[in-house]
Amino acid sequence: FWDRINRIILTKKKGIMGEIERRSLSLHDPNSFSNPEEIKIVHTHVDWKVDFSRQIVSGSATYDLVAATPNEKKIIFDVHTLGIHSIKDADGTVLEYELGDSFMTVGQPLTVKIPKLEDLKLV
């Protein structure tokens, strides 16, 4: 019963009170999709350019990661209105990713598939 934390979201699709929709979020944090119990971020390097006149922030973030076990195949980030051009590993190989459904209070999950765990770095 307590092995998964569920978030309850009230929607206005049916009837006056709406319907209740159940969404599973992170095992340890009811306000996050991330999986820090499986893969931890140990260092982040951010290289941003801010264009104040256009109100745009662009650039990259590089993450050094440590997996709890060698079997981990994905990392999940919490994002909100993020435009992604590509995600690469330390060798420059483009990685597959999926941007999940957006939820008003949490944002949306960004799931990145990780093919290998040695020297794990995402750009």
Single out the residue of 122, 119, 118 nearest to residue 76, CA to CA: 122
Single out the residue of 65, 83, 88 nearest to residue 75, CA to CA: 65
Q: Among the CATH numbers 2.60.40.1730, 2.60.120.380, 3.30.420.40, 4.10.80.400, which is that of 30-122?
A: 2.60.40.1730
Confidence of residue 120 (pLDDT cuts 50, 70, 90): low
Query: In this predicted structure, what is the pLDDT of residue 123?
Result: 54
Single out the residue of 64, 94, 75, 70 nearest to residue 34, CA to CA: 75
For the stretch 2-35, pLDDT in tens is: 333 333 333 344 444 444 444 455 556 767 788 8
Tokens encoding 121: 């770095």
For the stretch 71-112, pLDDT in tens is: 788 888 888 878 888 888 888 888 899 998 887 777 888 899
Confidence of residue 53 (pLDDT cuts 50, 70, 90): very high
pTM: 0.69
